[in-house]
Structure 1
């Protein structure tokens, strides 16, 4: 019962939304349970007055009443099923909607720490398990009502015989309790194994080109088989515990029936007012009570087996973002003056070494600043701190003299455009992807942005022009085409601050030229941060910042740094040797 209580407490706010519907459904479920069990109350009259007493009237009355109860029960079961479905699917919808809203509010840190496949399992399997558990609760209520009514009929008919059999009930309760914890743990292990399997599947599909390039199909098959075997082991544990519980329950049923036949037979032979009708009624009621009792045990087992789904879903629900608006945040409307990084230190986790150490950088409006250096130097980290994807560990980043932590987050990010190395496009049309930067843009504005991004020419040659579907993540476009769509999207957004993160590094020479031209148009009159390995793209920057191991080692224009004969010159010469 603890799991039922936990289910109620966790879902309380959702249950309240459907309070009236749940109340009505509970009433119908109870009535359905009563009508399903009530026909047995007529058995005594059918046999003793009808058959044994030779009364056709009583036979007809009992039979017609049973038929009427059956029709009424069927109708109530139909209504109860429909209402249960409306409630469970409504709560399921509300839960996954709230989960989606929650993950949209979480920081980037969360998405770097959880596997995509694991998150998908929580959205699909775990949330669906909650839906199933709610349906099971209504079924459980119906089973309990049926069992209670049948037990009441047996007790009313002959309480001595009924109580002599009920002593076996505590054994049934102990069976349920014994396997509840085992089923819960097995269910949780099964769901975690499912998450690992889905994560591996998602990674394999996304990285299929790499797998084929390195001819590692055998390794991936072996790894996947190990995960499926692990899932099978945990699934079998659930099945094994459920089977033990059900087999013992089944055995008890036969024992109960045998005892009933024996004691009941003695009572009929010895008389004392115990008739054949009484005997059949008690036998029928206790035997019939076994079915809802068994289903109740199975339903409780199922709830215990899936109860960890509640914990896994609400683990997400309980998370809170660290990057939040402060009190009375300042709305960022117009970038006026400068960006200043003062004594900035940053670590992704408090117990790790700093990946940025004492960074001091001043950027005036309209300047282009290039961040260069070897991988792991901290270039992308700086780019992630400006739009507050992460917060500095120490120091400050100020835009127009105001700490970015004091700005309203959405207004800050709306004025910062990002063109990453790995362009992400959404499934849908080219028009929808370009418009993503400005949901209210007109078709003319979309075409203008595409022309500025050097994308219009290739778009109009496609089968459906701007309405062309580009597939998941833009799989039907080349790297250069995707990058130009992303630039058009940024142009349409018209940000005041621009971050270009290796925007041309993965392109061939022809595509790079087209993209570079588009970027130059995008950069006009904007304050731009360029992260680049190809130093030919940063020569004309107003300021070049050389980073190594999280520290600024050199800063200046291209000519100033070449004259210093230091790290930048070495990087530059190596770049052109390559």
Structure 2
């Protein structure tokens, strides 16, 4: 029953590839025909063996020896040409399918909900995108090789049966031992292959995490503990790989032993046939020994290919685990394009919790922000401020209540048009590898060089950019590693200015900067905020005091709301926060 289940699982997994394979049906049929002809030609020299021995060597006929040798050379040339084109066509098919899958994986990742990324490790996702898709390429190539080897072995078997079916059948009585061992270890290899992919994903996550946090590791001098943890995970991968290798080696050892036993039986009974049966010539004996003996290599390779496919077939399931993921935050049918923010943003009885948790992150949020207002969100860390502003561009959707812009439900707007009108300057700025010019122009690819410079000047970034040898064409390294925190933040602000959003979200954009950088960034932010509706998770005192509305958020609830003066006079939570944190 377990074997049947495994077979059905494998078939179902391979069926998932049908949509990618059907584009290349013509090439696949051509490739299989090339494999069949190539395999037939590689087995053809056996047809010349009987004539070579019985007429050429035994009767000392040089003409027959020459005929056999010339025939083999001709077959070798044709066979080599077919093998070459068979390999080329196989590579075209497998690489094309690989490209289609990895492209679709990347496209799918771009459409997934933010909540998916909050529960999925980056390293594991990278393993699925890069390594598992590469394994699909390997599976397809191995399948073509498997088909070729099986067909070649089948031709040799048919030829052996044709020459002497009784002797061939007697020898093949040992074959079931081989089939049982192949079934047994192929299932184990599939399980081990899945474990290997998971261990690889865990190790990749560790590497990605360590490289991203290398400064923290150095700062806390925790290199030894990180190395110890990495070695533990790499040892687990080694253990799984060795286990898989053990299964593969056992399977190969059994096939090797069975082959030698088959040849020994063949030599024993075949030799007796030559001595006792005048109709069974040495040429017949050599031919049938050659047929069955030649079957060993393609059978051994076929088993190896089959095991290789089984050890990687779990990658198909892992890939479709991503491709089959259905994003919930999508455009509604007949959605409205968001063109101009005219009036207000309202939160009405908004609740929010993550899918995998019942804990309410936001509870009964009621808030109104008018066009041109600055709304400052203050409160203890972890209170829900960032989650609240992340609902506006629909990074997450409310689980209760609704958010409206200009009286229209946020979910009725086209997502892309909505996000294009919202500018976000986060606390941890993310810059892409490339030049300063490319990063500033990221949100507005049609901007001219002059417009980029103007945006940089407003963001107080132009002066330090010009000091670089290559100016705006300076390569900033991965994640902008060659720039300081203040420089990265100002480039991020220039990027937002160039996009010219109507709604701004500033997530503690100056909290991690020194005083000088903070002053420059704050000045840039004030220019950016002019005439725009702004939600700011506040850190700086002047930003809070000058806000049109201050909202105190704690434990997912709005505890207080009003102007600075009103909340001070209220003598509540805000005044306490102001006295403890902001005043100094």
TM class by smaller structure: over 0.9
1:54 is matched with which residue: 60, 65, 71?
A: 60
CA offsets, 1:551-570, max 9 Å, x none? 11111111111111111111
User: Residue 543 of structure 1 contacts residue 556 of structure 1 at CA under 8 Å; is this kept in 2?
Assistant: yes
Q: CA 1:564–1:545 in structure 2 vs 1: closer, same or farther (change >3 Å)?
A: same
CA offsets, 1:225-278, max 9 Å, x none? 111111111111100000110000000111011111100000000024000000
What's 2:176 paired with?
Answer: 170
Secondary structure of the residue that 1:421 maps to in structure 2?
Answer: coil
Q: Distance in 1 between matches of 2:462 and 2:512?
A: 21
What's 1:297 paired with?
Answer: 303
CA offsets, 1:82-119, max 9 Å, x none? 11011111111111000000010001011111111111
Please give the residue correspondences for 1:150-229 in structure 2 after superposition, counting only pairs within 5 Å.
150-229=156-235
Aligned length in residues = 578
Secondary structure of the residue that 2:545 maps to in structure 1?
Answer: coil
Q: What TM-score, normalized to structure 1?
A: 0.98
Q: Distance in 1 between matches of 2:87 and 2:457?
A: 57
Unaligned runs of 5+ in 2: 1-6
2:474 is matched with which residue: 464, 468, 478?
A: 468
Q: CA 1:558–1:330 in structure 2 vs 1: closer, same or farther (change >3 Å)?
A: same
Secondary structure of the residue that 1:554 maps to in structure 2?
Answer: strand
1:397 is matched with which residue: 403, 406, 409?
A: 403
Q: Distance in 2 between matches of 1:101 and 1:148?
A: 43
Structure 1 runs (4+) deviating above 4 angstroms are: 1-4
Q: Distance in 1 between matches of 2:543 and 2:26?
A: 65
Q: Is 1:517 aligned to 2:523, yes or no?
A: yes
2:16 is matched with which residue: 6, 10, 18?
A: 10
Please give the residue correspondences for 1:77-476 in structure 2 after superposition, counting only pairs within 5 Å.
77-349=83-355, 351-476=357-482
Q: Which moved more, 1:533-542 or 1:522-531?
A: 533-542
CA offsets, 1:283-331, max 9 Å, x none? 1110110100000001000001111111111111100101011121011
Q: Is 1:65 aligned to 2:71, yes or no?
A: yes
Q: Distance in 2 between matches of 1:525 and 1:542?
A: 13
Deviation at 1:424, TM superposition (A): 0.2
User: Residue 39 of structure 2 contacts residue 149 of structure 2 at CA under 8 Å; is this kept in 1?
Assistant: yes
CA offsets, 1:167-215, max 9 Å, x none? 1222211111111111001011111111111111111111111112112
User: Residue 373 of structure 1 contacts residue 533 of structure 1 at CA under 8 Å; is this kept in 2?
Assistant: no
Secondary structure of the residue that 1:345 maps to in structure 2?
Answer: strand
Q: CA 1:307–1:254 in structure 2 vs 1: closer, same or farther (change >3 Å)?
A: same
CA offsets, 1:407-429, max 9 Å, x none? 11101111111000000000000
CA offsets, 1:494-530, max 9 Å, x none? 0100000011101111111111111111111110000
Deviation at 1:54, TM superposition (A): 2.6
Q: Distance in 2 between matches of 1:527 and 1:191?
A: 47
Q: What TM-score, normalized to structure 2?
A: 0.97
User: Residue 38 of structure 1 contacts residue 150 of structure 1 at CA under 8 Å; is this kept in 2?
Assistant: no
Please give the residue correspondences for 1:498-577 in structure 2 after superposition, counting only pairs within 5 Å.
498-576=504-582
Q: Distance in 2 between matches of 1:139 and 1:7?
A: 19
Deviation at 1:5, TM superposition (A): 3.1
Secondary structure of the residue that 1:499 maps to in structure 2?
Answer: strand
Q: Is 1:31 aligned to 2:47, yes or no?
A: no
User: Residue 510 of structure 2 contacts residue 539 of structure 2 at CA under 8 Å; is this kept in 1?
Assistant: no
Q: CA 1:350–1:126 in structure 2 vs 1: closer, same or farther (change >3 Å)?
A: closer
Deviation at 1:7, TM superposition (A): 4.9
User: Residue 535 of structure 1 contacts residue 575 of structure 1 at CA under 8 Å; is this kept in 2?
Assistant: no
**Cα RMSD for the two superposed structures:** 1.1
Deviation at 1:577, TM superposition (A): 5.4
Q: Distance in 2 between matches of 1:24 and 1:91?
A: 16
Deviation at 1:3, TM superposition (A): 6.6
Q: Distance in 2 between matches of 1:314 and 1:429?
A: 35
Unaligned runs of 5+ in 1: none
